[in-house]
Amino acid sequence: MSDVTATDYSQEAQFDDYFALLKPRVMSLVVFTAAVGLLVAPIGVNPVIGFASILFIAVGAGASGALNMWWDADIDEVMKRTQTRPVPAGRITPRNAMILGLWLSVISVGMLGLTANWFAAGFLAFTIFFYAVVYTMWLKRSTPQNIVIGGASGAFPPMIGWAVATGGVSIESLLMFALIFIWTPPHFWSLALFMNEDYSKAGVPMLTVTHGKRITRRQIMRYTVLLVLVSLLTAFTSIGGPVYFITALALNALFLRGAWGLLKRAEAAAEADNYADERRFFKLSLVYLAGHFGALLLEATLRGLDLSPAIWLHLV
């Protein structure tokens, strides 16, 4: 961390501030994808064990969020989007954020191991390490590929959920990983397109800062094409089915059209309407991911009720 201008830490932290340190919005995404990973697995889990496991995975995600806010306090202070976070706002000291993050990491991994299995717990520990150390401390400030590789930490939760149920890894859990992993770059780069000034001010080497917006638009298109393949391939595995396939077709059509629109857009036009299309694409990316995992959950429910069609093409 570079020197920060003297932040006043005399204000008293409230419970809500510590909760905000866990990045509740990221946590909600983790809870959702991990729960889907657990529920679509072919092996059933006791509801109490399942609930507790998801909770501990969420706490682990929160721990890595706290560690991220400890390390990134100097960046967060500069960027408008993150200025009000408890550490840059001076309600929690960086040291306290670190202590909370470390203890929650130990507790979440230990409890997940005792509750589910140690493979899942090891996976959670690796995820926390990947987000806090590999992404936050190393990649974020050193390479424009930061969010591409760092996106892996956001993509692990459904694999951990699957591991809670099955104790292992499979093609299905790898595809759920790939779906989030490849979705992350278009998602964040569309954000970076309209938040560019923030990142350049903070000195974060986002692709928009290092290579410009033209290249970023091209990269969004590239990853979107790759994403379509992963998304559609998932339809023909044991967790896919017609409901998922139709949902994926619709969402991919929208997403492809959006990415194409961004690619063809001139910078002057984007600036003229304050990046309206980019903002829309960013929102669409959230719907895209939620829609896919929602459809997977629906397929699992239909299978549970014996309502899924007997004939469906399974490639893997």
Kindly state the smallest distance separating residue 281's Cβ from another protein, in Å.
38
Could you tell me the CA-to-CA distances from 108 to 19, 64, 103 in Å, in that order? Answer: 15, 11, 8
Compute the distance between CA of residue 13 and CA of residue 92 in angstroms, rounded to an integer. 6
DSSP string over 228-274: HHHHHHHTTSTT--HHHHHHHHHHHHHHHHHHHHHHH--HHHHHHTT
| Residue 114 within binding range of another protein, rule CB under 8 A | yes
Considering all CA atoms of the chain, what is the largest pairwise distance in Å, rounded to the nearest integer?
66
Exactly one of 26, 52, 137, 290 binds another protein (CB under 8 A); that residue is 52
| Residue 196 within binding range of another protein, rule CB under 8 A | no
| Residue 173 within binding range of another protein, rule CB under 8 A | no
Kindly state the smallest distance separating residue 115's Cβ from another protein, in Å.
5
Compute the distance between CA of residue 243 and CA of residue 225 in angstroms, rounded to an integer. 21
Task: Label residue 304 exposed, middle or buried (CB < 10 Å: 0-12, 13-18, 19+).
Answer: exposed
Nearest alpha carbon to residue 180 among 207, 203, 161:
161
Nearer to another protein, 113 or 294 (CB): 113
Q: If binding means CB under 8 A, how many residues of this protein chain bind another protein?
A: 10
Q: What is the CA radius of gyration of the chain?
A: 20
Compute the distance between CA of residue 153 and CA of residue 188 in angstroms, rounded to an integer. 14
Q: Could you give the string, one character per residue 1-20, with x where binding to another protein holds by CB under 8 A and - elsewhere?
A: -----------x-xx-----
Task: Label residue 256 exposed, middle or buried (CB < 10 Å: 0-12, 13-18, 19+).
Answer: middle
Nearer to another protein, 46 or 274 (CB): 46
| Residue 82 within binding range of another protein, rule CB under 8 A | no
Nearer to another protein, 14 or 83 (CB): 14
Nearer to another protein, 11 or 142 (CB): 11
Exactly one of 49, 232, 254, 256 binds another protein (CB under 8 A); that residue is 49
Residues 154 and 293: beta-carbon distance below 8 Å: no
Nearer to another protein, 114 or 250 (CB): 114
Nearer to another protein, 49 or 78 (CB): 49
Nearer to another protein, 3 or 15 (CB): 15
| Residue 106 within binding range of another protein, rule CB under 8 A | no
Kindly state the smallest distance separating residue 275's Cβ from another protein, in Å.
39
Nearest alpha carbon to residue 9 among 101, 69, 86:
86
Kindly state the smallest distance separating residue 48's Cβ from another protein, in Å.
5
Could you tell me the CA-to-CA distances from 316 to 62, 85, 240, 311 in Å, in that order? Answer: 34, 45, 11, 14
Nearer to another protein, 12 or 306 (CB): 12
| Residue 96 within binding range of another protein, rule CB under 8 A | no
| Contact range with another protein by CB under 8 A, out of 48-56, 69-77, 79-87, 249-257 | 48-56
Provide the binding-site residues for another protein, judged by CB under 8 A: 12, 14-15, 46, 48-49, 52, 55, 114-115
